[in-house]
Amino acid sequence: MEQKMNMPLLGDPFPEMKVATTHGPMDLPLDMTGSWFVLFSHPADFTPVCTTEFVAFQKRFDQFKELGCKLIGMSVDQVFSHIKWVQWIKEELEVDIQFPIVAANDSIALKLGMLHPGKGTNTVRAVFIVDPEGIVRLIMYYPQEVGRNMDEVVRAVRALQISDRQGAVPAGWPDNELIGNRIIVPPASNVADAERRLKEYECFDWWFCHKPLE
């Protein structure tokens, strides 16, 4: 019987799942309540691209911590494989992986849309950014042959947190070609508000106004 993939969409609650990890059992997203978290999957332990990704995530561990965001890795390898791989990374590359790695089964991987039949039996490179209420806020998928840019993941977490408080962030933020690191003012909801925008903010037009980052 064909297995159905039913991945969460933006704005959906992150699927509830009890998982085994290198840090012991976890109940997601319950154990992350009150904290942002990034769950990222990788195709397999002891593979070159995945190793470079884990080192890169760990190198930015403190940046995520400053944002109040936790990291969780995941693949369909078993926990003992994760443990041995983490040990190898520490011994050979002198990088201590501090975040847990989930040993997912096919059911968990299918819940998150991480098994793409056209790309083989391993999990693809998925990234889920989840907010403190357990809501999925951003999803990225990469094929097995392309490693991720971890600075973009850090930027995305920062941008989501800022947009929740201040307004939308532009392309390439904080280095946008038009407005730099400024924030886009939320859209006007009526004619009076649209006219008032031109007096209160810097604007290209009433529908495109921006303000300094607070």
Active site residues: 50
β pairing state of 101-103 and 69-75: parallel
What is the C-alpha to C-alpha distance for residues 157 and 66, in angstroms, rounded to an integer?
11
Task: Please state the length of the chain.
Answer: 214
What is the C-alpha to C-alpha distance for residues 122 and 77, in angstroms, rounded to an integer?
9
Q: How far is CA 177 from the centre of its chain?
A: 25
Alpha-carbon distances of 163 from 67, 159, 179, rounded to whole Å? 14, 6, 15
**Strands lying side by side in the sheet with 202-205:** 183-184, 208-211, 202-205
